[in-house]
Amino acid sequence: MEDATSTRDTEPVQPAVQPAVRVQPVDQRELLELFRGIPLLASLSQEDLRCFEGCDMLSADKGAMIIEQGVGRPFFWALIEGSVRGYKHTEDGARILLMDAGAGETGGEVPLLMGHQSPSASAEALEDSRLVRIGEEGFWRLMAGCPTVREGVLQNMTRRFELYQAVTLHREKLISLGTLAAGLMHELNNPGAAARRAASQLRENMTRLQTLTLRFTRTPLSQDQLTCLGMLQERIFSLKQPPALSSIEQSDREEELSAWLEELGVENPWRLAPTMVGVGLERCDIACAKEAFPPQILSDTLNYLEALISSVQLVGTIEESIVRVTDLVTAVKKYAYDDRRGHQQIDVRDSLLSTLTILGHKFRHKQLRLEKSFPPGIAKVSCMGSGLAQVWTNLLDNAIDAAPEGSTIGIRLWQEADAVCVGILDHGPGIPREHWEHIYQPFFTTKDVGVGTGLGLDIAHRIVVSNFRGDIRFTTEPGRTEFIVRLPIGPQSCSISGGAQTT
């Protein structure tokens, strides 16, 4: 009898075959036939094929990596059969789809034309594929000797770069939207939680007040008692602002009042003292209650007053929380509608304040102080679909990133004869001189890997220049950098032309 664990008849496990790429030389005489299905190369003559000396054929299995971003040297390719997917890995780990190429298409010209030393994207075979590969030297011979091919390659390069820029810009907007949404939820959570806590405590106070009121009905109050109680209530309801006390003064007064109330036999003196001191009541202010009420009623009277004071304060907390939520909603509406199409008069001050409201959590996270100079009477600017909120978001975001923790960010607004100007100042390390000429170029960033996409200043620059015919200037030195946005006043600010200067 065979052992149940016997593996005598078991087939050996075969290792999984990894998709591979095979390289073989190409006979020059075969190229013309191969290129007939490649629109870009179909017009080449036998004489033109000298540009393809040294090219080879890649045969890739489905799933094989034909090109790996940052690995090896870039090359130009023409897909004979099959299909290829191109994508780019970003510094924060995301993968951006660039293209799905089928038989007859070409690619690989972007890193060659931009002078990259390695491929700037990856390519994977979606099915078994064959493609002709030509290296850098042959590519430049092809560009120099074949005008038709050169024109087609440049058109493809422009189209692909614009597509990549559009995809990356869309991704940048989604990241900004996610950041703003997270910040908005954080901002809304604070007043929402405060209102909820206050409402819960207010319900408890209403129960206490009802209980104490029922007790009073069992013992009618004298005229002196009613006068004292009315005077204290009037004092409570007339209070507009609590007294400004230091922490030490507050603690000393609470301790003194609590000890006195305990001597009188009042219930919960530890609870009554902070509330009463908070509205400015001292021992002398409630002395009339000690004289007017017998000991058995005094405790209920003072607890009634404490519940009343607390209820008034809680109503104020709920009111403040609702006002805060309303302010946030108003700020978001202004922020969102700032980008609507159509002619509009834009209040730059309101636009700045709305953006500051939404970005408030970022200032608090780094404990940054904000210094604003917003004089009254600043004129509005006129434009078709502004995008100003995006300008302020990007400039403030950069200033917050650059500013040392606990430092100050300054925002000033002023008006010149024909323009409204905004200056955003931080006390960060400054912008190195060698970066000045690249600062508005798309995808250029001085931030750490994964932190910046290099599109913030490019977006701000294009909105100010294209939508407003304005400009952005900056001054910088170690410890002080200020970006100044100048927006012309009047309908002419909607022109599509214009430029920006840098100092």
115 contact partners, CB below 8 Å, separation of at least 6:
none
Beta bridge partners of 413: 422
Question: What's the confidence (pLDDT) of residue 494?
Answer: 45
- Residue 384 confidence (pLDDT): 59
Q: Which two tokens stand for residue 155?
A: 């058109």
Q: pLDDT at residue 269 above 90?
A: no
pLDDT at 497 > cutoff 50? no
Query: Could you say which of 284, 299, 324 is where a domain stops?
Result: 324
- 348 in the same domain as 450: yes
Q: Residue 337: its pLDDT value, please?
A: 57
> From its phi and psi, is residue 471 left (phi > 0), alpha (psi between -120 and 50) or beta?
beta
In a domain? residue 175: no
**In this predicted structure, what is the pLDDT of residue 427?**
93
Number of domains composing the chain: 3
Q: Is the predicted pLDDT of residue 326 greater than 70, yes or no?
A: yes
Start-end of H helices in 338-455: 348-358, 360-365, 388-402
Q: What is the pLDDT of residue 128?
A: 92
Residues 440 and 448: their CA atoms lie apart, in Å, by 17
Residue 453 has pLDDT above 80, yes or no: no
Mean pLDDT of 386-414: 87
Q: What is the arithmetic mean of pLDDT over 120-126? A: 89
Q: Same domain for 195 and 295?
A: yes
CA 498 – CA 470 distance, rounded (Å): 7
In a domain, 95, yes or no: yes
Mean pLDDT of 147-164: 79
Q: What is the mean pLDDT of residues 84-102?
A: 79
Return phi, psi of residue 452, to 5°: -120, 150
d(CA 209, CA 111): 77
Same domain for 140 and 199, yes or no, is no
Q: Do 318 and 343 sit in the same domain of this protein?
A: no
Of 324, 346, 375, the one marking the end of a domain is 324
pLDDT tens digits, one per residue of 186-243: 667 767 877 888 888 899 888 888 888 888 778 777 888 888 888 888 877 776 666 6
pLDDT at 110 over 90: no
Residue 178: pLDDT over 70 = no
Strands 381-384 and 343-346: antiparallel
Looking at the domain assignment, is residue 291 inside a domain? yes
Q: Which residue has the higher pLDDT, 226 or 482?
A: 482
pLDDT at position 218 is 80
Question: Would 161 be classed as within a structural domain?
Answer: no
User: What's the average model confidence in pLDDT over 250-270?
Assistant: 83
Which pLDDT score is estimated for 285? 74
- Of 33, 29, 28, 122, give the one whose Cα is nearest residue 84: 122
CATH code at 110? Answer: 2.60.120.10
pLDDT for the residue 145: 77
Measure the CA–CA gap between 191 and 153, rounded to whole angstroms.
57
Residues 269 and 390 in one domain: no
Task: Look at residue 29 and tell me if it is in a domain.
Answer: yes
Looking at the fold, whether 36 and 119 belong to one and the same domain comes out as yes
Clarify whether residues 490 and 348 are in a common domain. yes
In this prediction, residue 339 has a pLDDT band, given cuts at 50, 70 and 90, of low
What's the pLDDT band for 411 if we cut at 50, 70, 90?
A: very high
Strand-pair partners of 475: 482
Instruction: Give the range of the structural domain holding residue 373, as residue numbers without chain letter.
Output: 338-494
pLDDT score, position 451: 46
Domain boundary among 291, 324, 357: 324
- At 118, give phi and psi (nearest 5°): -150, 160
Please give the residue that has the higher pLDDT: either 10 or 363.
Answer: 363
**Residue, of 185 and 498, whose pLDDT is higher:** 185
> Is 216 among the domain residues?
yes
Does pLDDT of 412 surpass 80?
Answer: yes
- Kindly state the percentage of the chain with pLDDT values over 90: 11
My answer on whether 438 and 477 are in the same domain is yes
- Closest among 197, 464, 187 to 330, alpha carbons compared: 187
φ, ψ for residue 267, nearest 5 deg: -70, 150
Q: State the average pLDDT over residues 343-358.
A: 80
Would you place residue 183 in the very low, low, confident or very high pLDDT band (cuts 50, 70, 90)? low
138 and 255 share a domain? Answer: no
Same domain for 274 and 406: no
Q: Is residue 500 part of a domain?
A: no
224 and 279 within one domain: yes
Regarding whether 363 and 314 lie in a shared domain, the answer is no
Which of the pair, 467 or 292, is modelled with greater confidence? 292
pLDDT at 425: 94
Residue 342 predicted with pLDDT over 70: no
pLDDT at 495: 39
The CATH number for 372's domain is 3.30.565.10
Task: Note the pLDDT of residue 483.
Answer: 93
pLDDT score recorded for residue 408: 92
Phi-psi region of 73 (alpha: psi -120 to 50; beta: other; left: phi over 0): beta
Domain-embedded: residue 6: no
Chain-wide mean pLDDT for the chain? 78
